[in-house]
Amino acid sequence: MTNNNKKLTTSWGAPVGDNQNSMTAGQRGPTLLQDVHLLEKLAHFNRERVPERVVHAKGGGAHGYFEVTNDMSKYTKAKVFNGVGKRTRMFIRFSTVAGELGSADTVRDPRGFAVKFYTEEGNYDLVGNNTPIFFIRDAIKFPDFIHTQKRDPKTHLKNPTAVWDFWSHSPESLHQVTYLMGDRGLPATWRHMNGYGSHTFKWVNEDGEGVWVKYHFITDQGVKNISNEVAGKLAGENPDYHTEDLFNAIEKGDYPSWTLKVQIMPLEDADTYRFDPFDVTKVWSHKDYPLIEVGRMVLDRNPENYFAEVEQATFSPGTLVPGIEPSPDKMLQGRLFAYADAHRYRVGANHNSLPINRPKSEVNSYQRDGQMRPDNNGGGSVYYEPNSFGGPKETPENKTTAYPVTGVAENVAYDHDDHYTQAGDLYRLMSEEERTRLVNTIVEAMKPVSLEEIKLRQISHFYKADAEYGTRIAKGLGLSVPQEV
């Protein structure tokens, strides 16, 4: 706690004469409306909360740097990944997904892994999770999915029937459900988990040549997870366990780090690869596209103020820099709208002007006004374009690269429905102990489901992924695998 023994003032800078007693008519008289210091204190207090994030509400963050250890200019002109030794300051926020701002860190949930690079050509946000995949593959399903993860509108309680009803009707979720219900669903700390961009992005080099890319942040601390029992105990004893762990580690100079690696896919492979590389419920085999090291991310400074730096931080997959572009992944496309929309609602139209979000590079835009404009609003500079007064001009070399698209405008699903191979591969990759923990966790989670048809539908998905997988869960639930699987 920094103390500065300065003169106490109001928010308008006037010295405060008395911060102990309201102004009243006599010792026992009514409080006077003219006590503007009292009025301001109470009124501002009522307005201290901004809306919490509708998902990923509970989280913690830290500052650090990213250093290139393997030059990527062959693939991308993004300066943050160019030149061995190149260092870029960054800020990261870790989070859970479904819980509210005051919920426990150690619940079974994916973890947010949102990184903001303050690069010399603007901010670059890589807003991922600690899982390389996701439950759904079309943004249109996201509000429905999250409704099932949140509280039942009638009971205000979590509702396992809703959770498994949605998943049993969405077989594309099976891969991520297997991941989530496995050991990786309960990371020991944020320092002991990997992070992933999850989506496929496009990297473009100086010559305009592109490749598809997937990001993997591999923790240098090693992956460590906790059991259901330990997680439950921690959730009761210390709901802020992960937040505290990260803060204390950095405070004592035990700086956590991750090695960033990427998978690179030639553009033309996207048309023939056995899985649609834009389907975020699927991974690319590391045999097909091996991991290539890029650099190292080190967290070396705690926030000075949680609200200013963590609560007000705004990350968006649309915050891109030259050399990094979106892929046609429908989930990513939906996110390109949703995040900045959430920021405008939650923090305000000028959220990028807040210190934590402000780029370290120059901002020369024609945006003006809007609530809470903290800078000089462009001063007397020209405020429209085109103009005859030397205002900021676009740089065509930074246009998003063109690429051919075909097809008719319609509402249409991805045309491949193999949601079982990769989920089954994940199950078969597990050790016997990991499989037993997975099966027990799923059985316990599905027991409260009120409709047997939901259980049977979900069992058939597990069975299609792997017969043993489905059979063990059916047995645990006292059911048999449906005949018509």
Catalytic residue among 37, 63, 82, 129: 129
Q: How many helical (H) and strand (E) elements, i.e. helices and strands, does the chain have?
A: 12, 10
Helix, strand, coil shares, percent, the chain, to 5: 30, 15, 50
Cα dist from 376 to 368, 386, 414, 479, whole Å: 10, 22, 48, 67
Among 335, 351, 435, 461, binds ligand HDE (CB under 6 A): 335
Candidate list 126, 162, 174, 331; residue touching ligand HDE; CB under 6 A = 331
Phi first, then psi, for residue 334 (nearest 5°) are -65, -35
Assess contact for 339 and 128: CB atoms under 8 A.
no
Of residues 232, 318, 334, 482, which one binds ligand HDE by CB under 6 A?
Answer: 334
Known catalytic residue at 56: yes
Judged by CB under 6 A, does residue 54 bind ligand HDE? Answer: yes
Residue number of the CB atom closest to ligand HDE: 112
Comparison of 422 and 460: residue with beta carbon closer to ligand HDE: 422
Which residue's CB is nearer to ligand HDE, number 289 or number 339?
339
The interface region with ligand HDE, picked from 282-290, 333-341, 382-390, 459-467 by CB under 6 A, is 333-341
Q: Does 55 bind ligand HDE (CB under 6 A)?
A: yes
Nearer to ligand HDE, 59 or 122 (CB): 59
Which of 192, 176, 193, 183 has its CA nearest to residue 228? 183
Q: Is 328 in the site for ligand HDE (CB under 6 A)?
A: no
Among 338, 442, 459, 474, binds ligand HDE (CB under 6 A): 338
* Distance of alpha carbon 342 from alpha carbon 314, whole angstroms: 9
Q: Tokens at residue 218, please? A: 């591999």
Provide, rounded to whole angstroms, the least separation between the CB of residue 481 and ligand HDE. Answer: 31
The helix or strand, by DSSP H or E, that contains position 146, with its residue range, turns out to be: helix 142-149
Shortest distance in whole angstroms from residue 28 CB to ligand HDE: 49
Shortest Å distance, C-beta 134 to ligand HDE: 4
Candidate residues 36, 38, 139, 445; the one interacting with ligand HDE per rule CB under 6 A: 139
CA distance 197 to 190: 16
* Per CB under 6 A, 315 contacts ligand HDE: yes
Which of 37, 63, 77, 93: binder of ligand HDE (CB under 6 A)? 93
Active site residue 129: yes
CA–CA dist 285, 36 (Å, integer) = 65
Which residues is 118 bridged to in the sheet? 123
Exactly one of 118, 190, 215, 339 binds ligand HDE (CB under 6 A); that residue is 339
The tokens describing 194, both together, are: 């990997």
β-bridge partners, 212: 202, 265
Element housing 232 (H / E): helix 228-237
Written in H, E and C, the secondary structure of 60-111 is: EEEEEEEEECCCCCCCCCCHHHCCCCCEEEEEEEEECCCCCCCCCCCCCCCC
Nearer to ligand HDE, 297 or 449 (CB): 297
Q: Report helix, strand or coil for 481.
A: coil
Q: Give 61 or 160: the residue with its C-beta nearer to ligand HDE.
A: 61
Among 68, 90, 98, 114, binds ligand HDE (CB under 6 A): 114
Q: CB 342: neighbour CB atoms within 10 A?
A: 20
Q: Does 142 bind ligand HDE (CB under 6 A)?
A: yes
Residues recognised as catalytic? 56, 129
Task: Summarize as ranges the residues that interact with ligand HDE (CB under 6 A).
Answer: 53-56, 59, 93, 95, 112, 114, 127-129, 134, 139, 142, 198, 280, 313-315, 331, 334-335, 338-339, 342-343
